[in-house]
Structure 1
Amino acid sequence: MPHVNEDGAHRVVCLATGANSAQRLKSLDLENATPIPSHNQRNIVYVHGQRFWSITAVMSILMFLVFLEIPIVITGAVAITDSLGGPGSANWIVTSYLLGYIGVIVIFAKLSDILGRKFMLLVSAAFFIIFSAACGASQTLVQVIVFRAFQGIGGGGCYSICTIIMMEVVPPEKYTKYVSYINITSALSLLSGPIIGGAIAARTTWRWIFLINVPIATIAFIVALVSIPNRFPYHGSLSHDQPEKPKHFVSKEILSRVDILGAVLLLFSTVGLTAAFEEADSLFPWKSPYVITLLTASGILYLVLAIWERHVTLAEKVTEPILPWRFFLNRRMISILLDQFLLGGPTLIGMFILPQRFQIVYGLSGLDAGVRLIPFSFAIPVATIFAAGLAGKKKIPLMYIFMSGACLQVVGFALLGTLPLTPGIPARIYGYELIAGWGCGMNFSLLTIALPLVNENRDRATSMAAGAQFRLMGSTIVLSISTSVFNSYLRLHLNDALASADGTDLNSLVYAMHNPAEAASEQIRFTLAEGYNRQTLVLCVAAALQVPASLLLWNKKAHLVA
């Protein structure tokens, strides 16, 4: 049985036995936690040799591709809309992917507990491959947007399952180093995405932005099919926690374990919230019936979801909650989820705003803009390794690392948000990018590593998926808020340049700036530059809020990492 604190508000299951386990608990400042091995952890069978490296390659490839789909499409969106029409809908090419991605992360994680990691990974990869091909073959912008949503379902599933497998393919004492190295592939995709997208848009058809996934992901699918054991990671032992697969795959017993109502509530509440924030002050004003209805409906669904999940958790019946109520009673879990939410904005939106600034304000091509983003995107994987060393070898508690990373983000984005309004590119922008990217990178992997260590072992998959979902939800919501600030400033100062005040005309103006033949006056470029400055300062606020969120990890006893 797991150790329970006297106040009953926080339970922690240690993920390993021995001295290393106790030391890892201390690294998180987990008071009153006792290193007691869980039944599930003892039954995990670790793979070795060729099979280990094959699984590692599968995770690296899939995580690289699903993250690549965000920045590569951002820089290629103009080429897509030029080919298919509809510049005002360009944001939906990115948003539809994120909606599908966010909507299934936790659901697929829980299904993998029931149906198996291998099966759900293969299903997710198949979705990603099929709908990547469909996006590449699309003939209208509507088709691209719809297929992107389904591609996002596959991408979200791949990310969710790969994140879980990362913590099950190696023993607990190797988590920090292994997860940090795997997450480098994600950071590298953010580094190379703008460059690849810009090169494809400039040199060949935009369709290769999507088609490039098909052969690479197919190879990963085949390797996963061959190398991952059928009952991974419990393929070498049987227990009451991991029964043998029934004769009928989708049996009545399996369906009874699925929290179907919770999954539906989580899906629609999340999609409603992100869709409302995406269109707020863009196609629809904040006070429009569309935005108000979606936000109200989403809030009601989240309330019903919380009540339902509390009921399912406390009932302790065969049905497994999609979002256990235990999460909301765990102060450290809440801290990490808040940090994930607030980190999503600066990390992912920085990838969105900076290339747009280089293209629209300074008139660079998509490829050149991607190259000039390198200081920001390169700093993330390097800082990830650096922070892992601080947490491991230097014995610095995670709370202080998270706060340091947040402070660096504040400094970096504050400097980026106060750039002078000049026609040339100021050289110091690259130094500011480096500072902001370093701050994001310090927290990028360690927040993921901390999740299973502050939750019971049975909640490992769901907790890690919840962290990923909160990060992407945060990026979507912070993006919508920062875009609203940008749009409001432009409407106030560009009335003469706009045919009307609606969001469609504003988007058309912004995307028209990519075309040299339609280059705007210098005054309009300065106005756009100031709009980007204000948008960047919103990221500064999100970064600053990570400091009080990290303080929720505080413990009176200062423990160090061994």
Structure 2
Amino acid sequence: MAIFSTRPDGTSSVEPRDASQPTVTERAIEAMEVDDFQGPGAYVNILPVCRFWVLCFGVCAGLLLSIIDSSILATSLYTIGVEFQEHSLINWVVLAYTLGYTGFAVSCSTLSDIIGQRNAFAGSYILFVAFSIAGPIGVGSLLIFLLSWPSKEEMPRPQTRPWRQFDFVGTVLGIAASVLVVFAFQNAGESEPTIWGRAVFIAPVVTGLACWVGVVAWGYAIEKWFAHRIVPVFPIQLFRIQRYARSALTTFLVGYPHLLLIFSFPIRMQIVSGKSPLIAGLMLLPMLGTVAIGSMVSGKINSAKDHLSGTLRCGTWMMALGFVLLPTIKGSEDDAKALGFLAFAGFGFGLFTAAATNVISVDVPTRQKASAHGITAQAKILGGSLGISISTLFLHTEVINRLPELVPPEELASVRGDVQNLRGASLEAVKRAYVSAFHKGITTAAVAACLAVLSTAFITCQMRRRERRRDVEQQQQRENAAPEEEEPRFAEPPIPLQTIAGGGVAEGGVARGEPAK
């Protein structure tokens, strides 16, 4: 290959290029291929397209099963309460699910750095399939995943870590911090109003908050003294990345209304509108479908250029719009409007979560990506668990504790856990109580969604200030470099008029090729 160069006199020349020296484009591609976790020289091979899509199918099938599992749980809560004739404790079923998710989201993500991504995913898949009714489907998708996983020749050589570097202390503190705070509010929601000042509420809250302080302190201790010996579950360096830290906080605020709506809306449809569990579950489709659409739109918008801050902001706007409108629905006559409002909330949630995931890909170093994904997932589920606990509080305040006032004792004894067995004025009174509880829960969700809007607005302002500061610095660098790059210009002697006219030689000049004396 040849290189075109320009001489000082303005003419061009063609010089051979040294083949051992890479071009700028080749150096850029090489820099993109080197993984800072795998070490220099570790190149990522390209997987065949067919095998890649088969692998994606295996992963997506597992994600589909997990989403279906949570939807089935949401629609079966009321039936579980009827079966056991105990509606006051049904949210513990949900919290057992979400708190297990919350407690192990971060630790399992960092576990992949020790045992490998394939083994971590397959182990989690096996645990899920073993306790799920969708076992045969899960086994099939797991086999597809394992068979389509790239071979050793197609995979880079990852630098795995030994077990002694796993952060056991941070894992225990994170699980305790998440579980204790949610437990305190859930237990208070289903107890007497006087529980707020008793030790059974204060002790778990204080202990949980102390555990959160311990998580932060332990992260600082690892950073200062044990950086080469322990890989932290909650790396403090992550929260110095401003856009990621703000998006993680916003994820917590967004998770609160999302999970609250998923688990409270089907109960409302079954009690207030008299729908069957199947129909109540199907009425979640507008929200779940628009979540998928929002995720695809977010990926398309940010595929060529970084519009992540704007996508985060638009997602929270759409969610806030849906949740601000949801409290306006009353009885079964407003079910059609509720489906439209669910679509707004779902589309906004899809936009936001996909953009928040891409923030990790863009802003977070590769070594910390696993922890970053785990923290984001934990923030979403932890916010949702608090939302479920708050909805339990309103359910008990408006319905469970007031049933003796709403229903005569002899009629209440014949209900046997199913409110639909009531008739006449008693049934209408219970429906109004459920509408009131749903209204209060969704109102708190709307407040959380509006706080998420403020948080993403702060992200946008912060990014604009950073861009303006970067533009100013680049302008200053160009101005400082301009005088150095300019070549000095020497004044040329004036050409004699005689030479121009062709009429002779001026004093001290040379004309017609005659040598100067």
Letter paired with 2:215: L
Deviations along 1:498-547, one digit per CA (max 9) or x if unpaired, are 799xxxxx9x9996325567994323312321221121111111111112
Deviations along 1:211-247, one digit per CA (max 9) or x if unpaired, are 2x2101111222233332476xx96444xx616xxxx
Q: TM-score, normalised by structure 2?
A: 0.75
* Contact 2:270/2:280 (8 A) holds in 1: yes
Q: Distance in 2 between matches of 1:347 and 1:528?
A: 19
TM-superposed deviation, 1:86: 4.0
2:340 to 431, 434, 445: 431
Q: Distance in 1 between matches of 2:43 and 2:184?
A: 44
Q: Distance in 1 between matches of 2:416 and 2:256?
A: 21
Closer/same/farther in 2, CA of residues 517 and 552 from structure 1, 3 Å limit:
same
3-state secondary structure, aligned to 1:483? helix
Q: Does 1:402 align with 2:312?
A: yes
Q: Distance in 2 between matches of 1:271 and 1:289?
A: 17
1:471 to 380, 398, 404: 380
Q: Does 1:90 align with 2:79?
A: no
Q: Distance in 1 between matches of 2:185 and 2:36?
A: 43
Q: Distance in 1 between matches of 2:415 and 2:443?
A: 23
Letter paired with 2:168: I
* Contact 1:405/1:439 (8 A) holds in 2: yes
TM-superposed deviation, 1:479: 2.4
- The residue number in structure 1 matching 2:239 is 328
* Contact 1:327/1:333 (8 A) holds in 2: yes
- Answer with 1 or 2: which has the greater Rg: 2
- The residue number in structure 1 matching 2:327 is 417
More displaced 10-residue stretch of structure 1: 115-124 or 282-291:
282-291
Letter paired with 1:545: L
- The residue number in structure 1 matching 2:291 is 380
* Contact 1:360/1:510 (8 A) holds in 2: no
- The residue number in structure 1 matching 2:447 is 541
2:190 to 257, 282, 293: 282
* Contact 1:118/1:229 (8 A) holds in 2: no
Deviations along 1:127-164, one digit per CA (max 9) or x if unpaired, are 112222xxxxxxxxxxxxxxxxxxxxxxxxxxxxxxxx
Closer/same/farther in 2, CA of residues 272 and 499 from structure 1, 3 Å limit:
farther
Q: Distance in 2 between matches of 1:511 and 1:45?
A: 59
Q: Distance in 2 between matches of 1:409 and 1:370?
A: 20
Q: Does 1:391 align with 2:308?
A: no
TM-superposed deviation, 1:38: 4.2
Q: Distance in 2 between matches of 1:483 and 1:511?
A: 17
Q: Distance in 1 between matches of 2:257 and 2:95?
A: 17
- The residue number in structure 1 matching 2:437 is 531
Q: Does 1:48 align with 2:45?
A: no
- The residue number in structure 2 matching 1:149 is none
* Contact 2:33/2:44 (8 A) holds in 1: no
Q: Does 1:454 align with 2:340?
A: no
TM-superposed deviation, 1:62: 0.9
TM-superposed deviation, 1:269: 1.9
Q: Does 1:481 align with 2:390?
A: yes
Long gaps (5+) in structure 1: 1-16, 23-33, 133-210, 244-252, 501-505
Long gaps (5+) in structure 2: 1-23, 471-517
Q: Does 1:115 align with 2:115?
A: yes
* Contact 1:486/1:531 (8 A) holds in 2: yes
Letter paired with 2:251: Q
Letter paired with 1:467: T
Deviations along 1:51-109, one digit per CA (max 9) or x if unpaired, are 32232112101111122221211212333444455443322222111111111111011
Q: Distance in 2 between matches of 1:221 and 1:399?
A: 36
Identity value in percent: 23
1:266-345 superposed matches below 5 A? 266-283=174-191, 285-315=195-225, 316-345=227-256
1:235-274 superposed matches below 5 A? 236-238=155-157, 242=159, 254-274=162-182
Q: Distance in 2 between matches of 1:449 and 1:272?
A: 31
* Contact 2:407/2:426 (8 A) holds in 1: no
| RMSD (CA atoms) | 3.3
Letter paired with 1:280: A
Letter paired with 1:456: P
Q: Does 1:552 align with 2:459?
A: yes
Closer/same/farther in 2, CA of residues 398 and 112 from structure 1, 3 Å limit:
same
- The residue number in structure 1 matching 2:146 is 225
- The residue number in structure 1 matching 2:126 is 126
Closer/same/farther in 2, CA of residues 218 and 84 from structure 1, 3 Å limit:
farther
Q: Distance in 1 between matches of 2:277 and 2:147?
A: 39
Q: Distance in 1 between matches of 2:395 and 2:25?
A: 53
* Contact 2:82/2:418 (8 A) holds in 1: no
- The residue number in structure 1 matching 2:137 is 216
Aligned residue pair count: 431
- The residue number in structure 2 matching 1:188 is none
TM-superposed deviation, 1:18: 7.2
Q: Does 1:441 align with 2:362?
A: no
- The residue number in structure 1 matching 2:489 is none
TM-superposed deviation, 1:457: 1.2
TM-superposed deviation, 1:335: 0.6
Q: Does 1:348 align with 2:259?
A: yes
Q: Distance in 1 between matches of 2:45 and 2:423?
A: 62
Letter paired with 1:116: G
Closer/same/farther in 2, CA of residues 516 and 444 from structure 1, 3 Å limit:
farther
1:12-91 superposed matches below 5 A? 38-40=35-37, 42-83=42-83, 86-91=86-91
